[in-house]
Amino acid sequence: MSEAQQPLTLAMEKSQLQRAYDKLNAVWERAEEKVRSLMVPLECWVTIRPHGDQSGIHFGWIKFGGKFRLCWGYESSAGIDFRPVLDRTIDVKVGAVEHIERLFNLVRSKMGTTYCLVENARSALSATLERLHDESPADVPEPTKEHEREPPLARLIPRL
């Protein structure tokens, strides 16, 4: 093979590798959307390797940057450092593949819990609002000294 052909081969290999990375990332994006479609806003994770002599490794459905993401985390004495799988190295993206079904099933199992939490909160809030609406001024408890305190900023603003 001549020297002129070598860069072309290397360029072709790089191009193939980049396409493979892009395809894997696209499938991870689809996996994230599939888990997100379950509508479970509860953090949960599976432990790949428990924290012990080595750092622990966890794969989870974690709130990151304002939305829930599939995240890979390394645990140390300081806690677990979760980051999205899509932002991790290729070895993490490949290694996490064997754990996605277990995590998906865990998130799916949380659907019932999530429904109960939401329904209980809705019910409690509705009952509170009904009570607040129905209370006459005589039913409203007198404020305690704790409630009478002004916030620090209010003391700095002159009263008109």
> Mean pLDDT, 10 residues at a time, over the chain (160 residues)?
65 92 98 96 93 88 96 92 97 97 96 89 92 67 60 48
CA-CA-CA-CA torsion sign (120, 125, 128, 133): negative
> In this structure, is residue 24 part of a structural domain?
yes
Q: For position 155, what pLDDT does the model report?
A: 47
For residue 18, what pLDDT is reported?
95
Angle at 65 (CA atoms; ends 98, 112), nearest 5 degrees: 60
Residue 128 within a domain:
no
Give me the domain span that covers residue 50.
Answer: 5-114
Whether 67 maps to a domain, the answer reads yes
Question: Total domain count for the chain?
Answer: 1
Q: Which residues contact 48 (CB under 8 A, 6 or more apart)?
A: 56, 57, 58, 59, 99
Give the pair of three-digit tokens for residue 49.
């390797």
Q: Is 137 exposed, middle or buried (0-12, 13-18, 19+ CB in 10 A)?
A: exposed
Q: Is residue 125 part of a domain?
A: no
Residue 80 lies in a domain: yes
Cβ-based neighbours of 38, under 8 Å, separated by 6 or more = 107, 108, 111
pLDDT at 143: 64
Q: Looking at the domain assignment, is residue 16 inside a domain?
A: yes
Contacts of 83 (CB under 8 A, 6+ apart): 64, 71, 72, 73
Q: What are phi and psi of 74, to 5 degrees?
A: -110, 130
Domain membership of residue 94 (yes or no) is: yes
Nearest to 100 by CA among 55, 35, 24, 40: 35
CB under 8 Å to 145, separation ≥6 — which residues?
Answer: none
Give the per-residue pLDDT at 112.
86
Residues 6+ apart with CB under 8 A from 25: 86, 93
Is residue 110, in this structure, part of any structural domain at all? Answer: yes
Please give the pLDDT value at position 58. Answer: 97
